[in-house]
Structure 1
Amino acid sequence: MKTPLDQACLAEPLTCDGAMGTQLIQRGMSPGECGMRWNAERPDDIRAVHQDYRDAGCRLIITNSFGGTRSMLERHGEGGHTAEWNRLAAKIAADAAGPDGWVLGDVGPFGDFLEPMGETTTEELEAIFREQIEALAAGGADAILVETMSDPAELTVGVKTARQVTDLPVVATYAFQDSGGEFRTMMGTTVADAIRAACDAGASIVGSNCGTDLSLENYLKLGEQIVAAAGDIPTILQPNAGAPRNADGGVVYDATPEDMAELARKLRELGIHIIGGCCGTSPAHLAAMARV
């Protein structure tokens, strides 16, 4: 029987995978296209991305389901495929993860705001998350990843819903930005308050993925604050390949695999338990990170 992720990451450092979207764009996905549709129409391409990361040394494979809530799929007119495509996402990831890897069922932001800033109630959001989480679990996810959150209230609903409908460990991560020397989410929440909210909600592993214009040095400072705020709860950090810049009509991330490997080494020394990548990272980046 596979060791639960929150226990396994305390016994040994684990590498999570990297960016999915940029890998699919390289395989022909158009900007703005519904990436979830590829789980049904181009599963071999999704499987190939997962396998590239697994071959790079990543033990944690994230499902292709970041925009997989019904509320997000309805923007593409595909809400009716919510359960089917999330189950497929988990099954495809499980093919690559294998018996000694873990599948993280990816749950991203639902695309709006909770009351009173928006019109969505907590009960409505619970139903939105429940549908996706149940499908990911049915497809074979080993843990639920509630990621790229800005609002602790939305993250709390996601974590608590996952706890209600599954027995799986729940990983909870925020996106932070540098606000004049202090890291905050888009909603203005500090690292300490955000991580505390995730822990209080019942998250098994807490941390951050992505980040607006954060440098590699920023990620080190962010890692220190996450470790301090998490206490005894295991931590995860999935940095971008440095701060993005516009070039040749697109977005470029300049950090090399060697740069990311050095960052991974330093993050591990800080006490981060799971280290992966986000925007701009590739299998080459993650292979270098896994080696250290």
Structure 2
Amino acid sequence: MPDQLSRMLGERPWLLADGATGTNLYNMGLAPGQAPDLWCETHPDKVRELHRQMITSGADIILTNSFGANASRLRLAKAQDRVVSLNRTAARLAREAVAEVGRAVVVAGSIGPIGEIMAPMGRLTEAEATAMFTEQAQALKDGGADVLWIETVSAVEEMRAAAKAAQTVGMPWCGMMSFEPGGRSMMGVTPPQLASLMDRLPYPPVAYGANCGTGPAELLMAVAGFAASGNERPLIAKPNAGVPRYQDGGLIYDATPEVMAEFGVLARDLGVRIIGGCCGTTPAHLAAMREAMIAAPRGPRPSPERISARIAQVMGPGE
């Protein structure tokens, strides 16, 4: 039996992934510097409510509140012994939100980077990373996740470790890197290099692509690099909603729902199959994206120049 995500990709031209978790929880009262993952146990109703809002806005894929729930990151909050309970709870809360609706929604178990530099530049070995990812992946599986969603990675070694973890626990997975404005990840990986890696992995992903970054235009440039690689695996594009600023006690990002809606249409026309938003993307952004992607007629594959021009046009002067 194909997994739920693969089935839905087989039935539809594109799927809408959800928006930000941390940013939206911060605007719901999460304290600065507090680990969002801990809210799965301290504020489960708010986490579940955020999932509901994303689903109501049209999300076909929702991410669990577990991005930083690995042993290394949780050590900063003295919660490294709670990896299993936090990830199981994160998956269960998302599962409960999905159970309330009468349509198919994929629960994607969010796994972010471990937060340490990989060897040989740093001290974290691939074996250690694989063990940490495996602990998190197994707990997400046990909690009811449909697929593992490995995101914001910057090193080839870390992506390989995450793929091994997915294989160990027998879960389908998706993998994303975050790319800087110069077109490389923080550890120097280019989009064509990531595409090549995905083709060579013994346990390849259902889909792959880019997330986070500095905004929709830059992320679409990275995705264009995947499309040009010749890799036919489904692509994912999930950019930040621009650049953040503090306003009225909360974080506001400069890409409006109209900007993210334009991004969604451009991503769709570029051939991206899974389209969503990362940091700063609210349910309002998501609803605008879905509406635009349904309403706008299919256009030709946009060139890099058209991508830049269209995003700049909807951003407006001075932004």
Aligned to 2:92: 91
Partner SS for 2:208: strand
Shift of the 140–185 alpha-carbon distance from structure 1 to 2, 3 Å rule, reads same
Partner SS for 1:106: strand
Aligned to 1:208: 210
Aligned to 1:228: 228
Aligned to 1:147: 151
Aligned to 2:173: 170
TM-score with structure 2 setting the length:
0.85
The answer on whether the counterparts of 2:199 and 2:231 sit within 8 Å (CA) in structure 1 is: no
Equivalent-residue separation in structure 2 for 1:91 and 1:119 (angstroms):
34
Equivalent-residue separation in structure 2 for 1:242 and 1:249 (angstroms):
18
Aligned to 1:255: 255
Shift of the 190–252 alpha-carbon distance from structure 1 to 2, 3 Å rule, reads same
TM-score with structure 1 setting the length:
0.92
Aligned to 2:53: 52
Q: Percent identity?
A: 38
Aligned to 2:112: 108
Give the stretch that moved more between structures: 141-150 or 34-43.
34-43
Aligned to 1:159: 163
The answer on whether the counterparts of 2:179 and 2:219 sit within 8 Å (CA) in structure 1 is: no
Residue type matched to 2:266 in 1? Answer: K
Pairwise CA RMSD? 1.9
Aligned to 2:136: 132
Equivalent-residue separation in structure 2 for 1:198 and 1:239 (angstroms):
20
Residue type matched to 1:178 in 2? Answer: P
Residue type matched to 1:171 in 2? Answer: C
Equivalent-residue separation in structure 1 for 2:39 and 2:244 (angstroms):
26
Shift of the 203–258 alpha-carbon distance from structure 1 to 2, 3 Å rule, reads same
Partner SS for 1:76: coil
Shift of the 26–140 alpha-carbon distance from structure 1 to 2, 3 Å rule, reads same
Question: How many pairs align?
Answer: 286
Equivalent-residue separation in structure 2 for 1:140 and 1:2 (angstroms):
16
**Deviation of residue 10 (structure 1)?**
3.8
**Deviation of residue 68 (structure 1)?**
0.5
The answer on whether the counterparts of 1:199 and 1:206 sit within 8 Å (CA) in structure 2 is: no
**Deviation of residue 219 (structure 1)?**
3.0
Equivalent-residue separation in structure 1 for 2:90 and 2:266 (angstroms):
32
Equivalent-residue separation in structure 2 for 1:259 and 1:73 (angstroms):
34
What are the within-5 Å matches in structure 2 for residues 9-24 of structure 1? 9-12=9-12, 13-24=14-25
**Deviation of residue 11 (structure 1)?**
2.6
Structure 1: stretches of 5+ with no match in the other structure? none
**Deviation of residue 243 (structure 1)?**
3.5
Equivalent-residue separation in structure 1 for 2:120 and 2:225 (angstroms):
30
Equivalent-residue separation in structure 2 for 1:195 and 1:229 (angstroms):
7
Instruction: Say whether residues 1:29 and 2:33 are aligned partners.
Output: no
Residue type matched to 2:210 in 1? Answer: S
Aligned to 1:289: 289
The answer on whether the counterparts of 2:211 and 2:219 sit within 8 Å (CA) in structure 1 is: no
Partner SS for 1:288: helix
Give the stretch that moved more between structures: 76-85 or 249-258.
249-258
The answer on whether the counterparts of 1:245 and 1:252 sit within 8 Å (CA) in structure 2 is: yes
**Deviation of residue 286 (structure 1)?**
0.4
Partner SS for 1:85: helix
The answer on whether the counterparts of 1:4 and 1:169 sit within 8 Å (CA) in structure 2 is: no
Shift of the 222–285 alpha-carbon distance from structure 1 to 2, 3 Å rule, reads same
The answer on whether the counterparts of 1:60 and 1:97 sit within 8 Å (CA) in structure 2 is: no
Equivalent-residue separation in structure 2 for 1:245 and 1:176 (angstroms):
21
The answer on whether the counterparts of 2:73 and 2:115 sit within 8 Å (CA) in structure 1 is: yes
